[in-house]
Amino acid sequence: MIKLGLTYTDQITGFKGVATGHVEYITGCNQTLLAPKVGKDGVKKDAEWFDDDRLKQSNSKRIILPLTSPGSDMAAPTR
């Protein structure tokens, strides 16, 4: 089970990042959004989505952010 705030590595590409988003689909192809750290060159890489089955949890401390931004505790808007 994926836990947001933990670091994972994609076993196929080696892409590593913190799980910042997760989606579950009716088809069972659940995916996690990994946000990598800024490189040594100072360049920010884009976050990428990966199938959960490809991810391996790294031994790192879980990042937990407080809900401080306006609206972070509100439901998403609907149309």
Query: Span 4-19, mean pLDDT?
Result: 97
Q: Is the pLDDT of residue 10 over 70?
A: yes
| Residue range 23-51, pLDDT digits in tens | 999 999 999 999 999 989 999 999 999 99
pLDDT at 73: 60
**Beta strand ranges found along the chain (DSSP E):** 7-10, 16-23, 31-35, 48-51, 55-57
pTM: 0.80
Tell me how far apart the alpha carbons of residues 33 and 52 are, in angstroms, rounded to a whole number.
10
